[in-house]
Amino acid sequence: MKRTFGFCILIFSLLIFSCVSNNNALMKDVYSGYYAIAEEYFKMEKYAKAVEFYEKCLKDEDELTLRNVKYKLAQTYLKLSKWRDASKIYEELLQIDLENTNLKTLLAYSYMKQELFDEAEKIYLSMIESQSLNQSSYKNLILLYGIKNDFEKAESELASYKEKFPLDETISTIETEISNLKKKFEEEQKKAQEEVEKSEVIADKE
């Protein structure tokens, strides 16, 4: 009797294991299907639909697959200008892959878009410190200073960059970008000052 009961338990356990295994395989196929659909929507530039199907894949328990899904989801958020959503994922991925230069660059970019300039600056400076020949980080840092209207630092870093990388053909493009940002800022300052002066004249007349 005991042997029969034990045999039944064994058979039941094997059936349960088989069902779980088949279910896992089935769900793996389902997630793969969702991912393929998301990829097609991404190629078609239907990013909201791509997000919908990438998010369905987040239940996949395979670590490498999940990491890839999160990366693609963050990229899609960037396309939708959802900077905060993207940065949260990059922060999460960097906890796993601390020295990933690409993730750091994308995180800094998403910070810049949120006007979190101090956070972006820290990342670029850290990358420059660890990779002294990282031209991309230098250029991004220069543009960051220009965007936040800190033209003294922008021009100082640009001068240093020209000394380090005199053969870089993009230097003139960076100079033009900083020059345009500075000109725009000065025009806005001038316009604001004129508005203040105009208001003061009106107040005096009253």
Q: pLDDT tens digits, residue range 120-150?
A: 999 999 999 888 778 999 999 999 999 999 9
Both 135 and 82 in one domain: the answer is no
Residues 46 and 103 in one domain: yes
Our count of domains for the chain comes to 2
Given a contact cutoff of 8 angstroms between Cβ atoms, the answer to whether 145 and 176 are in contact is no
Cβ proximity of 76 and 108 under 8 Å? no
> Is 66 a member of any domain?
yes
As a whole number of angstroms, the distance between CA 186 and CA 120 comes to 24
Of the residues 113, 142, 174, which one is the last residue of a structural domain?
113
The reported pLDDT for the residue numbered 200 is 65
Domain boundary among 113, 134, 163: 113
Q: Is residue 85 assigned to a domain?
A: yes
18 located within any domain = no
137 part of a folded domain: yes
Residue 62 and residue 119 share a domain: no
Q: Could you tell me if residue 194 is inside a domain?
A: yes
What is the domain extent for residue 68? 33-113
In this predicted structure, the answer to whether residue 88 has a pLDDT above a threshold of 60 is yes
Q: What is the pLDDT of residue 16?
A: 36
Q: What is the CATH number of the domain that holds 195?
A: 1.25.40
Within this chain, do residues 100 and 119 fall inside the same structural domain, yes or no? Answer: no
Give the up-direction half-sphere exposure of residue 116: CA atoms within 13 A in the CB hemisphere: 14
Question: Which CATH number do you get for residue 72?
Answer: 1.25.40.10
Which of 71, 93, 113 delimits the end of a domain?
A: 113
Q: Is 19 inside a domain boundary?
A: no
Are residues 57 and 106 part of one domain?
yes
Burial call 37-53: b when 16+ CB within 10 Å, e when fewer: bbeebbeeeebebbbeb
Condensed to tens digits (0 to 9), the pLDDT of residues 24-58 reads 666 777 888 889 999 999 999 999 999 999 998 88
